[in-house]
Amino acid sequence: MKRRPRPVLFLPLLLLAFALLPLTSAFAASDNVAGQQQKVHFFPHLGKSSGAVTAAVVNPNATNMGYYGGSVQGGTTNVYAIYWEPTHNVSSTYHSLIQRYFNDVGGSGLYKNNTQYKDSSGRIPSGTHLVATWTDTAGYPESPLLDSDIQNEVSRAQSVNHWSSSLTNIFFVFTQANQDICFDSSYSQCASNAFCAYHSYFGSNTIYATMPYAASFSCNGGQGPNGDQAADETINVTSHEQMEAATDPLLNAWYDSSGAEIGDKCAWNFGSSNGANVSWNGHPYRVQKEWDNKARGCVLTGP
């Protein structure tokens, strides 16, 4: 999911029912950020079943991704993981498994699928690696947190650690268990009622992803393979946002005619009922598929 500048505002399309319904792309008007009219496109929940999101396969839109002239994250992308955890309320292997994922995904067939999506300058998202992590125990300024708080946390992490913004840098902000995040003070689009995660940017090129603790918000795509369900669920939504940010970092590059990005078109499509569906460097993961324009479908490796 993403936030995207548009000349025309869309009304929210996400109606989160508790019955199993087909997913649709969800857009909502948002505050003016960095002088640009922004919108949010969330990675939505599925319908709930017995308190958990089911792992139903979504029928993808058959329309291929289109190119709208913007930049991609060309070459090797630098990942910065920010763990904003005032009381360290996360599972015991949460950090280590997320970091292992970031170190494994760059050489995977899933990330290779991004290489078909080049921009007008010929840049191709060819790889990614984890550059640094930071755990921040500063208290949350409010609850629920807002998108503006996430942006401020990225800026704080940059200041403390001397990190810089770049088209090839992305900042993932992970929050602790049970901490709700809402897009704005209307509280109409939140982790608790609308989305699992989203990516966006502020300024000219500060690219970030907002990563609630997935296990607290029914973002369960099935039983994971690493003995830490909370980490497995967050890794899946992290993968979704990472692939979208690589191919649409400034929200003006690759998406389809309905506004769906590479991950949205295959959301919750794993190709298997439970357990690992990929193995990278001998490590198992359960991640959703991504759209392949050449195959005109959802894949775990490509192009």
| Type of residue at 161 | N
Q: Which of 128, 15, 21, 2 is nearest to 68 (CA)?
A: 2
Q: What CA–CA distances, in Å, run from 115 to 2, 76, 99, 107, 256?
A: 20, 11, 23, 12, 17
Cα 259 from chain centre: 15
Domain residue ranges of the chain, discontinuous segments joined by +: 2-299
pLDDT at residue 218, rounded to an integer: 87
For residue 187, with 0-12 CB atoms within 10 Å meaning exposed, 13-18 middle and 19 or more buried, which class applies?
Answer: middle
Phi/psi at 66 (nearest 5 deg)? -110, 160
pLDDT at residue 55, rounded to an integer: 32
SS3 146: strand
Cα–Cα distance measured from residue 106 to residue 166, given in angstroms and rounded to the nearest whole number = 18
SS3 90: coil
For residues 40 and 183, the answer to whether their CB atoms sit within 8 Å is: yes
pLDDT tens, position by position, for the chain (303 residues)? 655 432 222 222 232 222 222 233 332 222 222 333 344 456 655 432 223 333 333 344 468 999 999 999 999 999 999 999 999 999 999 999 999 999 999 999 999 999 999 999 999 999 999 999 999 999 999 999 999 999 999 999 999 999 999 999 999 999 999 999 999 999 999 999 999 999 999 999 999 999 999 999 989 989 999 999 999 999 999 999 999 999 999 999 999 999 999 999 999 999 987 899 999 999 999 999 999 999 999 999 998
Annotate 169-218 with three-state secondary structure.
Answer: EEEEEEECCCCCEECCCCCCCECCCCEEEEEEEECCCEEEEEECCHHHCC
